[in-house]
Amino acid sequence: MKKKVCITNQIPEIGIRLLKEKYHVEICQKGAVDETFLSQIRNCDAIVSLLSDKIDENIFSVAPKLKIVANYAVGYNNIDLNAAKKYKIMVTNTPGVLTHATAEIAFALMISLTRRIIEADKLTRAGHFTGWEPMLLLGDELNGKTMGIVGMGRIGQSMAIKCRAFGMNIIYHNRTPLDENTEKALEAAYCSFDELLQQSDVISLHTPSTRETFHLINEAAFKKMKTGVYLINTSRGEVIDEAALVSALRSGKVKGAGLDVYEFEPEITHELFSMENVILLPHIGSATTEARNKMSEMVARNVIAALEGKNPENLVPE
């Protein structure tokens, strides 16, 4: 009998095709852990999950044949790794293939905020463009400003390259500094977290969601920032204390925020909706055809490796 793979939502065809060559594939539409979903995964050998699926003991305990959870994301904070280890279930992610897509969206948020692109579009569409005006929608130039990158992995580095090309000075904070050659190539300088908060004109977050990064950007952190700083988050919502962000935006400490992710995703702190200096995106960091096709292929290859008794390429660190 063919092995069974459950995918919790429709993903690009490329990965599904690869899986269908070998296995019985079902789109399980998770959403919630209800009886229908649990009965679908009871006899499955692999699950392809999304970052919005909470995958934990509730799932592992009812799926005795389950060998692998292949997360269709680079982040994997939605999966209980301790429980996966207990049930000897492999967990994989999709690193490397959404680097540019995510850095591009971070960059887009930054430049849209600093040059007030969304406000300008709204004004024009509303018929309020009545001719060139010297004081209309003045923004801030990026050239010569300091970009502070928190989390200098692949996506942070890709963001650094883009910002350098726009004449920004790059400082960064990371658990461990980059090696000297990489720092030199990126023209980026390591600094402490506090220094980064104090010196940056724009701060862009590229950290995973962990116990250590939960509310890393909180009231105390906002206090240390320059007045008029811009804040960009394309990593995970929990890194920012959203209530503290609302206060910092209200007081003018933060001049603008560009968010692709939210603390209580998909819920969004309602005060943010009415703020002109905030851009809200629906978690589309990796939403390019290129990235999503590669992610689809990658999850399929990880599943195939695991079900053939090999080590998948993208096992997450325990």
- Which residues lie near ligand DGY (CB under 6 A)? 51, 73-75, 98, 283, 285-286
Residue 215: active-site member: no
What is the smallest separation between the CB atom of 81 and ligand DGY, expressed in angstroms? 15
Residue 24: active-site member: no
The phi-psi region of residue 275 (left if phi > 0; otherwise alpha if psi is between -120 and 50; otherwise beta) is beta
What is the smallest separation between the CB atom of 82 and ligand DGY, expressed in angstroms? 20
CB-based contact 164:182 (threshold 8 Å): no
Active-site pick, 116, 236, 292, 301:
236
- Nearest alpha-carbon partner for 83 in 47, 64, 53, 59: 59
What is the smallest separation between the CB atom of 109 and ligand DGY, expressed in angstroms? 13
Residue 183: active-site member: no
Q: Which is nearer to ligand DGY, 136 or 284 (CB)?
A: 284
Q: Which is nearer to ligand DGY, 50 or 120 (CB)?
A: 50
**Which DSSP state fits 179?**
P
State the distance between the two ends of the chain, measured CA to CA, in whole angstroms: 32
Q: Which is nearer to ligand DGY, 9 or 277 (CB)?
A: 9
What is the smallest separation between the CB atom of 247 and ligand DGY, expressed in angstroms? 26
Q: Which is nearer to ligand DGY, 76 or 172 (CB)?
A: 76
Which residues partner with 203 through β-bridges? 148, 231
46-49/24-27 β-pairing: unpaired
Instruction: Tell me how far apart the alpha carbons of residues 77 and 239 are, in angstroms, rounded to a whole number.
Output: 12
Q: Specify the residue for token string 């977050």.
A: 205
Active-site pick, 100, 173, 206, 283:
283
Catalytic residues: 236, 265, 283
